[in-house]
Structure 1
């Protein structure tokens, strides 16, 4: 009796596995057969993936309006304000509220933002470093971060940033410490291909 039960259980398991394999194969061939995604499939993918953002002019980035009543110490800190506000808009989840105090023109007081005298003019302050390690922050990096031209240190490891590193990071000539490890950055434009 025990052998019959074991053989029956094995047969049932084999039949179940064959059914799941066949249903998976038929659903994937259905997508291939019609050649394009349905609206529902496209919406699902759009909601699940955050790969690459482009604005209406074709650039990736956010539109940041600067309140004319804000006063900045210098133009570099105004640019830093634009970059950081664009980044704040690109953040979808900030469970520890690290960017909660990113308000107002005093960007040097923002959590995780560090200022120092500018290398070419020690009489003005500029954003020299950003450290938001282990924040579990989700979102992407907007092109406006390229406005932080005096940035030397950029640490955002152990978060959930996705997409690609902005092209304008090439403008960051003073950047010597970049840690974007343990995020979900895309390799060749596809979050599913790998994580950095």
Structure 2
């Protein structure tokens, strides 16, 4: 039996334009993987590429952090997208980060939905299946990060993806394991 591993992970690349968010350089010294904003809730192409460059220089694995198209709400507002729209939105964002990673000699290893998209996918099996389908369409070797005991975890497994079960050190949980 393999021993479970713990990988410290953080959301990075959330600055855009003249707006600066967080201390990515400091976090990259202590984490093993980064969820990099893909421009729909935060981040922009220049920030994405620089975050990829810094992560690779620090030996940190690259993850895409796709969100609903909600820059003004930081991806925290629930949106009603058709499955077709949602799948295309995820493909677009993760594909952008894959291009930035390739340009810097790296590759994306995982996908971690952001904010409201993640929260909804954890509870709604149809949204979770759409997220998993998009990730699998991009690369079936990508790891899908999903909260343990969530619909997203189940959908990732059903899609044949490797699922990294996550817990949040800074969040409260309900008795059923949901945030």
**Taking structure 2 as the reference length, what is the TM-score of the superposition?**
0.30
Larger C-alpha radius of gyration, 1 or 2? Answer: 1
